[in-house]
A = this chain, B = another copy of it.
Amino acid sequence: MDITAQMIALAKAAKTAARTLAASDGLTRNRVIENVARLLQAEAPVIRAANDKDLAAARAAGLDAARLDRLTLSDKAMTDMIRACHEVAAQSDPVGEIESMTKRPNGLLVGRMRVPLGVLCMIYESRPNVTIDASILCLKAGNAVILRGGSEAFHSNQALAAVLQKALAEAGLPAAAAQVLPTTDRAAVSALLKLDEYIDVVIPRGGEGLIRAVVSEATMPVLKHYKGVCHAYVDQWADLDQALSLVFNAKCHRPGVCNAAECLLVHEKVASDFLPRVAERLGGAGVELRACPRSLPLLGAKAVPAKDSDWGHEFHELIMAVKTVDSLDEALAHIAAYGSNHTEFICTTDHPAAMRFLREVDASLVLINASSRFNDGGELGLGAEIGISTSKLHAYGPMGVRELTGTKLIAFGDGQVRS
């Protein structure tokens, strides 16, 4: 069987399984997820052995320490996966919820029922825990899932796939509801991305290159974010103590993540008060400040002039671009030009400025007087997330269980015909 035929068979099996899953009850799907938790514990030695195989190959191939770390299924990684199972099982089941029923003049009751999306395909890079974290969210929402992890995690992912399939079978659900590709052949991914007849949505997670490749090949919708270039805007009417604490948290709490702030915009009326404090607090914490010509003299000796390429750049480390702006208008224009539709926040005590920022900034999360670090499913109350989407279609922001479902229209009639 060639690779295309093999992928068609796999995707067809997923679609058939999705129908069973969509009709299954929430208790059965929770049982699968609890089975996963139990089997992760029971099969830990097998999983570890597979992971060791991947790690040995990765070391031999000279992978850097950061990538080796992401590849490792440590005790903590195993415990985290098990905890995620318990948390997801405890969430309420969105499938079958009826959101509203309104009555038409002819007596027809019309509403929306929440339904699974169908078959999801996850394409991701090295971290094998995604195999479990993504699968349990998909299964909870009644979806079948096809997983394609990093080739360096191949054996780990196969071992985790065995856990998933055993967990499904034990609960009487089809094993094809969670399938890990049995090959690392790149052609398999290309073949899958053409199968919009069977696959409803693709979620790539990883570097911008991976995501752009998926977008250009896929015939089905792609839920994704390329990068997180988040701005902090300190308005003329900001509480500067609070603003400093917010900017510090947004930049320094975890600089390597997508909801960390990359650029500080300061209103000119407060620049001379605020920027020296930024230099002291953030500079003191080791942040390199790359400043526009107006900000530079206010930031002291350690700041450096910003280059054009620093605006809109995701540094992923302790570096921050700093720009003094004339007005809220200029801040909004800068964010529109350089933002990545991920997370943006304003520090202000002025109600009109706050509400205008809220309305006009186009980002998956817009905050008033709170740190960009809150753009996370858990922090926002959505529960565990499968990723953050920066496309406005369907889900804009973190995607939890609910965002892995859609709604269909339903109607209760008693003989209505259209005339």
Contacts and interface: CB of A to CB of B under 8 A. Distances in A.
Interface in A103-126: 104, 108, 110, 113, 115-118
Contact of A393 (B246, B253, B380, B393): B393
B246 A409 contact: no
A182 interface: no
A394 to B, nearest CB: 4
Contacts of A221: 221-222, 391, 393-394
A200 interface: yes
A394 B396 contact: no
A370 B219 contact: no
B415 A406 contact: no
Given A102-B381, A219-B215, A407 B396 contact: yes
Give the size range of A's interface with the partner: 35 or more
A393 B117 contact: yes
A392 interface: yes
A196 B214 CA distance: 13
Interface stretch (A41-49, A274-282, A302-310, A360-368): A360-368
Contacts of A96: 359
Contact of A104 (B245, B381, B396): B381
A374 interface: yes
Interface in A371-419: 371, 373-375, 379-381, 391-394, 396-398, 406-419
Number of copies: 2
A381 B110 contact: yes
B408 A397 contact: yes
Contact of A22 (B360, B415, B419): B360
Interface in A10-33: 19, 22-23
A23 B22 CA distance: 40
Contacts of A248: 417
A92 interface: no
A363 B113 CA distance: 11
A419 to B, nearest CB: 8
A235 to B, nearest CB: 14
A66 to B, nearest CB: 23
A251 to B, nearest CB: 11
Contacts of A223: 393
Nearest to A223: B393
A409 B389 CA distance: 11
Given A381-B102, A392-B200, A397-B408, A369 B414 contact: yes
Contacts of A196: 215
Nearest to A19: B336
Contacts of A222: 221
A147 B363 CA distance: 26
Interface centre among A215, A246, A370, A410 (most CB of B within 10 A): A370
Contacts of A398: 409
A417 B102 contact: no
A396 B408 contact: yes
Given A368-B411, A374-B416, 6 more contacts: A96-B359, A108-B374, A253-B417, A365-B410, A367-B411, A392-B406
5 tightest Cβ-Cβ pairs between the two chains A and B:
A370-B413, A249-B417, A373-B418, A394-B394, A392-B406
